[in-house]
């Protein structure tokens, strides 16, 4: 993704931020994905002290995380300033940063559980983003990344960039120093959850 394409992508989310919470996509698509992601994460990390959402948007996933882990420190990172502004208003008990997956504004080894739902295909440099996640995770920490995934033959036909098949995502995790614990489809066939451990 070139810089200008990335800026256009971020600008689109900035413009969407004022109506994002009211979008039909929240109830139909994002909320079920968030619930499935949190259920999967809770089975792996029952009581995380800190939860990071990369590509947090308006903080919707973190608000659901709060009901599951009321004592956890909640942190959100998103490159769209409009999304961060809304997130701060709707989720005042969380900490939000404007930033990207490729350059997380966090200290090393400070996060127990990192989550990312449906933002991976927007990352400019996915390998760098996964290395950053590995950097901020504490030893033994986990990442649960949920994004689109299709078979290799379909990706070749569609010529889709930054969407991977199962083995391709597994390789990216391994290159970042994250041990893949499981990969499984959630909510609908095109979404793959990949769980990695530092």
SS (H, E, C) 30-82: HHHHHHHHHHHHHHHCCCCCEEEEECCCCCHHHHHHHHHCCCCEEEEEECCHH
Distance separating alpha carbons of residues 197 and 174, to the nearest angstrom = 10
Quickly name the fold that domain 3-197 has. Answer: Rossmann fold (3.40.50)
pLDDT class of 13 with cuts at 50, 70, 90: confident
Average pLDDT (17-40) is: 91
Q: What is the mean pLDDT of residues 120-135?
A: 95
Identify the pLDDT of residue 2: 63
- pTM > 0.75: yes
**Quick one: tokens of 169?**
């995502």
Select from 136, 125, 124, 126 the least CA-distant residue to 173.
126
Mean pLDDT calculated for residue range 28-36? 93
Confidence of residue 159 (pLDDT cuts 50, 70, 90): low
pLDDT of residue 71: 96
**Can you give the residue ranges of every domain in the chain?**
3-197
């Amino acid at each position: 993704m070139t810089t200008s394409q990335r800026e256009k992508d971020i600008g689109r989310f900035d413009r969407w931020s004022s109506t994002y919470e009211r979008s039909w996509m929240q109830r139909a698509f994002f909320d079920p994905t968030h619930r499935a992601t949190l259920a999967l994460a809770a089975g792996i990390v029952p009581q995380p002290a800190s939860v990071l959402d990369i590509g947090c948007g308006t903080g919707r996933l973190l608000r659901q995380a709060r009901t599951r882990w009321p004592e956890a420190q909640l942190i959100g990172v998103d490159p769209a300033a409009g999304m961060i502004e809304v997130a701060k208003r709707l989720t005042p008990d969380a900490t939000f940063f404007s930033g990207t997956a490729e350059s997380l504004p966090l200290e090393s080894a400070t996060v127990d559980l990192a989550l990312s739902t449906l933002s991976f295909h927007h990352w400019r440099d996915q390998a760098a983003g996964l290395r950053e996640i590995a950097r901020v995770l504490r030893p033994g920490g986990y990442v649960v990344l949920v994004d689109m995934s299709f078979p290799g033959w379909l990706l070749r036909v569609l010529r889709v960039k930054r969407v991977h098949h199962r083995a391709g995502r597994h390789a990216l995790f391994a290159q970042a120093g994250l041990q893949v614990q499981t990969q499984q489809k959630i909510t609908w066939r095109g979404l793959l959850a990949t769980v990695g451990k530092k």
